[in-house]
Chains A and B, each alone.
Chain A
Amino acid sequence: MSLLEVSNLKVRFETADGIVNAVNNVNFSVEEGKILAIVGESGSGKSQTVFAMTGLLDHNGSATGSVKFEGEEILNLTNKKLNKIRAEKIAMIFQDPMTSLNPYVRVSNQMTEVLMHHQGLSKSDALRQSISMLDAVKIPDASNRIGMYPHEFSGGMRQRVMIAISLLCKPKLLIADEPTTALDVTVQAQIMQLLAELQKDFGMSIILISHDLGVVAGNSDDMLVMYGGEIMEIGKTESLYVKPTHPYTQGLMSAVPRLNDSEKRLVTIPGNPPNMMKPSEGCPFSPRCSYSNDKCSNVSPILSNVNNDDHFRACHVEIERIA
């Protein structure tokens, strides 16, 4: 049994301008101890997918489908029930550490609150554990710095604090939504290495959401590519990078500038990100796809197996034409 199983997840938002189908029929699973990367650009629905799972959708959003964590359904649970799962089983870290931490509360209180609430620890026990967690995320002089306010930490340090808070109750699944996008590249390298080490030590699974193909390459076992709210391709990270079988994945791989490549011209994907107000009949990527045909614009492709392993793609065009 997988740690997390998502089936037929749909998320829609009711806005003044119409209904937005942010996520459309998403299916995937996460195994214990594995890292799944969800890759996509704006409007792909990657963040809304995980928000739906953790009950963080905006009030005008609704989710249908099934999300099973350790065999139990957690989609659309009441806040009360969800709170038992949050922090203890599933934890989340976000892109901007400054807005994720309460600027008016000392870091010590933000951390001890988690332990006291979820595990019923006393204040002193909670404090001791918090300090040792800050040590684990390599914050120097943790016992003194824990009493400081968030703004007294640098961006990279704040993200480490976020990671520390998320790991306090030793969750089984950590969801990291663009954890390093707001950080400098050298700090990013530090944080990603830290995450890799912690993952080995704590044995948790990670869902890593990112638009950065470089970050994903070195930090994930499996990868899920989303576009326009739908899954385009899913499989082992290595296979998708070495031999992408979906036109969008292929396009992304060609469009990203590589430091080790002196090709002077980037291959682009023509067109613009999808307008989520106007859902497409067929494949959401077809307007921009060089291989698309009539069927692509009218019939939504379903995920089909590639090479009989855990590699799936949603595309009408034969693999031989693409790869």
Chain B
Amino acid sequence: MIVANKNKIKDMAENLSESESGVGRSLWKDARIRFIQNKAATISLFVLVAIIFFSFIGPYFAVWSYEQIDWNAMGSAARVGMPSIESGHYFGTDDLGRDLYSRVIQGTQISLMVGVLGATVAVIVGTLYGATSGYLGGKTDQIMMRIVDILMSIPYMFVLILLLVVFGRSIGMLFIGIGLLSWLDMSRIVRGQTLNLKNKEFIEAAKVTGVNDFKIITRHIVPNLLGIVAVYATLLVPGIILAESFISFLGLGVQEPSTSWGALIKEGAGTISYDTEWQLLFPLAFFVVSLFCFYFIGDGLRDALDPKER
């Protein structure tokens, strides 16, 4: 007969678990390891950081400011405004003789800022709204989600353009317009995840213990939401940048002489038949590369945080 007393159970129980040290391997650590293993995502992260770094450091190497007009190149960009190190126009000039290098840097700053800040606002508002709606459930949830449905059915671009035309073009207006509508998706996603979590046994366990609702939301629900929020936030940024670029492409974006990728692309596309490809290629390159980076990072995050992989 196998004799097993309490001590033997204790011995066996712990010796068999990997009790090397007291350090735990949290899920975040696991995710970080998986993220790093994803080459596309890691490279994209470096590239993106490089671009951001460039937008900060770049101006120190600039010879011309973004609004300065080089009278030599004005009107004759095709002949004189080519990218060259000597003239100080590393990326060339635009049709008005303004330095494209500085303008691209300025565009990068503005576009990224709009994207990241817009996404941040959307994430905060969307998460709070969705988590509350999902957790409270019942009629409150129904009403809150119907409001989201109604807002979603509004033709986004139409409203945005209307706002910009009526209230004038400014970065502030851009934020309000984009921010007003981009939190909706996030709230739906967070609500879904909250509903999923709400029925999990560890939430039941917390309730039986007597933990109050607020602590349940902050200690148990939100940390388990962060994963999915991070993924969708990363995917939200390019969406917002695209929206802003489209607006600028239509000519309703940031006011001159400020510029953004969209505006630069618009100008560059307009002069493409005049042998001034650099005017389109440089801003386009930054735009495309950054967007791809965001998408790869978002993808990488999603794979890294996939619950099936634990």
- Asked if B3 is an interface residue, CB under 8 A from chain A, the answer is yes
Q: Which residue of A lies closest to B11 (CB)?
A: A270
CA distance A267 to B9 in the complex (A): 11
Interface residues of A in 267-293 (CB under 8 A from B): 267-272, 287-288, 290
| Chain A interface, DSSP helix/strand/loop, else mixed | loop
A271 touches B12 (CB 8 A): yes
Q: How far, in angstroms, from A60 to B296 measured CA to CA in the complex?
A: 25
Q: Which residues from chain B contact A190 at a C-beta distance below 8 Å?
A: none
Nearest chain A residue, comparing its CB with the CB of B18? A275
CB distance A254 to B12 under 8 Å? no
Closest to B34 in A: A16
Counting CB contacts under 8 A, is A250 at the interface?
yes
* Contacting pair B13 A271 (CB below 8 A): yes
A251 interface hit (Cβ, 8 Å): yes
Task: Contact check, B12 vs A270: say whether CB atoms are below 8 A apart.
Answer: yes
Candidates A250, A254, A272; contact of B16 at CB < 8 Å: A272
Among the listed B2, B9, B17, B34, which residue makes an inter-chain contact with A290, where contact means beta carbons less than 8 Å apart? B2
| Closest A residue to B33 using CB positions | A16
**Chain B residues numbered 1-30 whose CB sits less than 8 Å from any CB in chain A:** 1-4, 8-9, 11-13, 16-17
Within 8 A of B (CB), among A283-307: 287-288, 290
Per the bound structure, the CA–CA distance linking A290 and B12 in Å amounts to 11
On chain B, the residues within 8 Å of A271 by CB distance are 12-13, 16
Contact for A269 among B2, B11, B309, CB less than 8 A: B2
Instruction: Look across to chain A and name the residue whose beta carbon is closest to the beta carbon of B5.
Output: A270
Say yes or no: is A247 at the interface (Cβ < 8 Å to chain B). yes
How many residues does chain A have at the interface if contact means C-beta atoms less than 8 Å apart? Answer: 14
Q: How far is the CB of B89 from chain A (nearest CB, A)?
A: 49
Nearest CB in chain A to that of B2: its residue = A290
Select A267's contact among B2, B11, B13, B16, beta carbons within 8 Å: B2
A232-268 vs B: 1/0 string, CB under 8 Å?
Answer: 0000000000000001001100100000000000011
Nearest CB of B to A83, in Å: 29
CA distance A189 to B11 in the complex (A): 39
Nearest B residue (CB) for A274: B16
Of the candidates A16, A270, A272, which one forms a contact with B4 in the assembled complex, judged by CB atoms under 8 Å apart? A270
Contacts of B1 in A (CB 8 A): 250, 254, 267
Cα of A290 to Cα of B3 in the assembled complex, Å: 8
Give chain B nearest CB distance to A247 CB in angstroms: 7
Quote the shortest CB–CB distance from B252 to chain A (angstroms): 48
**From B11, B17, B34, B309, contact of A272 by CB (8 A):** B17
* Known contacts A268-B9, A270-B8, A270-B12; A247/B2 CB under 8 A: yes
B2 and A254 contact, CB distance less than 8 A = yes
Give complex CA distance A288, B8 in Å.
10
- Fill in one digit per residue for A75-112: 1 if any B CB lies within 8 Å of its CB, else 0: 00000000000000000000000000000000000000
Nearest CB of chain B from residue A323's CB, rounded to whole Å: 10
Interface 0/1 of B175-202, CB less than 8 Å to A: 0000000000000000000000000000
Which of B12, B17, B34 is within 8 Å of A288, CB to CB? B12
Q: Report the minimal beta-carbon distance from A14 to chain B, rounded to whole angstroms.
A: 15
Q: How far is the CB of B32 from chain A (nearest CB, A)?
A: 14
Q: Which of B4, B11, B17, B34 gathers the greatest number of chain A CB atoms within 10 Å?
A: B4
Enumerate chain B residues within 8 angstroms of A254, measured Cβ to Cβ.
1-2
B289 to chain A, nearest CB (A): 29
Rounded to whole Å, the gap between the CB of A110 and the closest CB of chain B is 28
Residue of B nearest to A266 (CB): B4
Q: In the bound complex, what is the Cα–Cα distance between A271 and B16 (angstroms)?
A: 7
Name the residue on B nearest A268 (C-beta): B4
For A290, what are the chain B residues with a Cβ–Cβ distance below 8 Å? 2-4
Cα distance, A272 to B12, chains bound together (Å): 8
Q: Residues on B close to A: CB < 8 A?
A: 1-4, 8-9, 11-13, 16-17, 34, 37, 309
* A-B contacts, 8 listed (Cβ < 8 Å): A16-B34, A254-B1, A267-B4, A268-B4, A270-B8, A271-B13, A287-B12, A288-B12
Binding site for B on A (CB under 8 A): 16, 247, 250-251, 254, 267-272, 287-288, 290
Identify the 10 closest CB pairs spanning chains A and B, nearest first. Answer: A270-B12, A271-B12, A290-B2, A272-B16, A270-B9, A271-B16, A268-B4, A270-B4, A251-B2, A270-B8
